[in-house]
Amino acid sequence: MAGPRFAILEADVAESDPPAAERVVDVERLARAAASAGCGLWELDVASGAAWVTDETRRLYGLTPDEPATWEGFVRLVHPDDRDEVVAKVKAAIETDGVLDDRHRIVLPGGAVRWLHVTARTDGPNRLLGASVDETDRVESERVAKKQETRALMAAAAAGLGFSEWTASARPYLDARLCELLGVGPDQLDESHALWLSRIHDEDRPRLEEASRRLRAGEADHIVMEYRYRHPQHGETWLRHSTCRVPFAPSGEVRLIGAVEDITARKRHEEHLQRRSEELARENVSLRHEVTRRLGPGPIVGRSAAIRRTLALAEQVAATDSTVLLLGETGTGKEQFANYIHDCGRRRKRLMIVVNCSAIPTPLLESELFGREKGAYTGALSRQVGRFELAHGSTLFLDEIGELPVEVQVKLLRVLESHAIERLGNPKPIPIDVRIIAATHRDLAAAVRDGRFREDLYYRLNVFPIQIPPLRDRLEDIPSLVRAFVEELTRTMGKRIEDIDARSLDALADYAWPGNVRELRNTVERAMIMATGPTLTIEGPQAIGAESTARSKGAFQEQIEQVLHETSWRIRGPHGAAARLGLKPTTLESRIKKLGLARPGTSPSRS
């Protein structure tokens, strides 16, 4: 065929054109330059089938140096799946005097498949001038990238993720899934950011606005947030938003890439588990308290006048939801009276929750009472339900209320006034319906005067005070109490006790019991441990210490003397000293004789 006809050659050579030798040199230089870029040059006469090619073209198509280059040979090298399309495109370029621009595969003689990018233009009838470039590596990279992109999109679709891209200078990009998650239409993209912010829950919006500001300012490169979102069709949903800050080079413009996931189902499940956990925690606390309560002596024991008056007051207030303040010395059984009031009231179907205000360390007392959120303070690794929430619909017994720190007194007062609590780390109020019974062995009025107890809280608690009588004011109840303790301890210790030594009971009635019912129970328990036969002998509490015994006897004697003086030494009758002391007249007369007491103006008689 004729020589090559590239842009530097024309069909008719003017007299001013360079000699043919120089034109050949130009063609060679052009061929070398193209080869250095991996580009093979060629000229094709489609009518004759003859072709002129450079060495780089031979290398690209796998032609040997002496192998003729023909149109038919090129067509045979084209991949069978691409061959018809390539022939049609060449024909179209020839017939329309146009341009050929095509990517197709060829199969080399050894079987290797390569991707070529072929560009050409017509140069007269049936003639093409063109160039071929091997793009196999680029096509393979695109294929791998496309495959990875497809996998990523499939994974994102499977995970329900929506994607966004935001820059200051361009229109926001939201994919179809994100538009669906946010309830944003195609015509709302320009205002999508404002719509998104306006639909975020009011409690969550401030922290999202702050996180967005930090990203734009470069104070953070990546944030992950979970928040509530008001979807225009689906109502309140939960979204998990992960955003990365990616600076553009070289302009430095910031681009925010986001991925959003609908986590409503997970949050609903977590809320369900949390509610169930709280219910189990409430049941657990209640059951533990019930076990502890069942190990006690059971119903309040005693028929003395003092105990009957106290029980009557307890029964009166039990029918209401009024706050009760139980006052009395240590060991008088204030918790047992609290149980009695609860069991006689309308809340008895739910177990009473007990808090000993003196047994919980001050730093933990607030979270024990009101609960806490995860992360409320260092070490708060989980959410905790407070005792007020556990007692919702029931009774909360605040034992040793006089030991409550002043800073907790303030919060307790607010709860009593508002009937709502706030967990530590969460300002949202939680309504509660709780009946309060408080107890103390301290003089709260004196604590108010000394500034150790808030006056307003004192008046909130002192709605219906009940004074629990000490054991020395109900000595006639000692035999009944001892028998109840023996029956209880017999079950737990497995010992068989058939009788109680009568002299032991008389000795117990001679003691003033500064430790009250608790001290009496401990005394009986010691005797049960030491018992070896069916008759229980109880050693008097004098063994505890002579000094303590002397103090208790002195206090007992002083009380009897005071009551005798106030009743003008009248022992019997409804207004006599025996009734005031809660003793039988014969018992009081025996005590007066043993103590060597005498009416003024008479001589004492001693036994």
What local confidence, expressed as pLDDT, does residue 543 receive? 44
124 pLDDT tier (thresholds 50, 70, 90): confident
Domain 20-140 has CATH 3.40.50.620: no
Instruction: Give the integer Cα–Cα distance in Å for 472 and 446.
Output: 24
Q: What is the pLDDT of residues 409-425, one digit of tens each?
A: 999 999 999 999 888 87
- Do 160-262 and 20-140 have the same topology in CATH? yes
* In the chain, domain spans: 20-140, 160-262, 276-467, 471-595
Provide DSSP, 285-318.
HHHHHHHHHHTS--SPP--SHHHHHHHHHHHHHH
What local confidence, expressed as pLDDT, does residue 401 receive? 94
* Other Cβ atoms within 10 Å of 477 Cβ, number: 22
Q: What angle do CA 321, 327, 329 make, to 5 degrees?
A: 150
Instruction: Give the integer Cα–Cα distance in Å for 513 and 473.
Output: 10
Q: What is the pLDDT of residues 219-253, one digit of tens each?
A: 888 888 899 999 999 899 999 998 888 876 556 67
Q: Which of 560, 559, 577 is nearest to 568 (CA)?
A: 577
Specify whether the CB–CB gap between 40 and 60 falls below 8 A.
Answer: yes
Which residues, in sequence order, are CB contacts of 381 under 8 Å at separation 6+?
374
What local confidence, expressed as pLDDT, does residue 7 receive? 37
Domain 160-262 has CATH 3.30.70.20: no
Question: Which sign does the torsion angle of CA 304, 306, 307, 312 carry?
Answer: positive
Instruction: Give the integer Cα–Cα distance in Å for 271 and 262.
Output: 16
Q: Which of 44, 1, 9, 3 is nearest to 26 (CA)?
A: 9
Specify whether the CB–CB gap between 421 and 460 falls below 8 A.
Answer: no
Task: Look at 97-106, 285-294, 511-520 and tell me which has the smallest mean pLDDT.
Answer: 285-294
Q: Which fold has domain 471-595?
A: Helicase, Ruva Protein; domain 3 (1.10.8)
What local confidence, expressed as pLDDT, does residue 320 receive? 94
> pLDDT at residue 545 above 50?
no
Q: Rounded to 5, what percent of the chain is helix, strand, coil?
A: 50, 20, 35
**Statement: the pTM of the whole predicted model exceeds 0.75:** no
List the CATH code of the domain at 276-467.
3.40.50.300
192 pLDDT tier (thresholds 50, 70, 90): confident
Q: What is the pLDDT of residues 309-328, one digit of tens each?
A: 999 999 999 999 999 999 99
Report CA-CA distances (Å) from 298 to 310, 343, 392, 470, 487: 17, 12, 25, 19, 11
What local confidence, expressed as pLDDT, does residue 1 receive? 43
> pLDDT at residue 297 above 60?
no
In this predicted model, which residue has the larger pLDDT, 524 or 281? 524
36 pLDDT tier (thresholds 50, 70, 90): confident
Alpha helices by DSSP H, 41-135: 55-61, 71-77, 80-96
Specify whether the CB–CB gap between 576 and 585 falls below 8 A.
Answer: yes
Token pair 């050409």: residue? 120
> pLDDT at residue 4 above 90?
no
Q: Which of 333, 321, 480 is nearest to 395 (CA)?
A: 321
**Dihedral, 452, 455, 456, 462 alpha carbons, nearest 10:** 100
What local confidence, expressed as pLDDT, does residue 379 receive? 61
Task: Look at 255-264, 290-299, 482-491 and tell me which has the smallest mean pLDDT.
Answer: 290-299
Task: Compute the mean pLDDT over every residue in the chain, rounded to the nearest whole number.
Answer: 82
Instruction: Give the integer Cα–Cα distance in Å for 106 and 133.
Output: 12
Angle between helices 546-566 and 585-595 (to 10 degrees): 120
In this predicted model, which residue has the larger pLDDT, 140 or 581? 140
User: What tokens does 129 get?
Assistant: 């001038």
Mean pLDDT to the nearest integer, 70-94: 92
Report CA-CA distances (Å) from 129 to 18, 51, 115, 307, 347: 21, 10, 20, 120, 100
Q: What is the pLDDT of residues 324-355, one digit of tens each?
A: 999 999 999 999 999 999 999 999 888 889 99
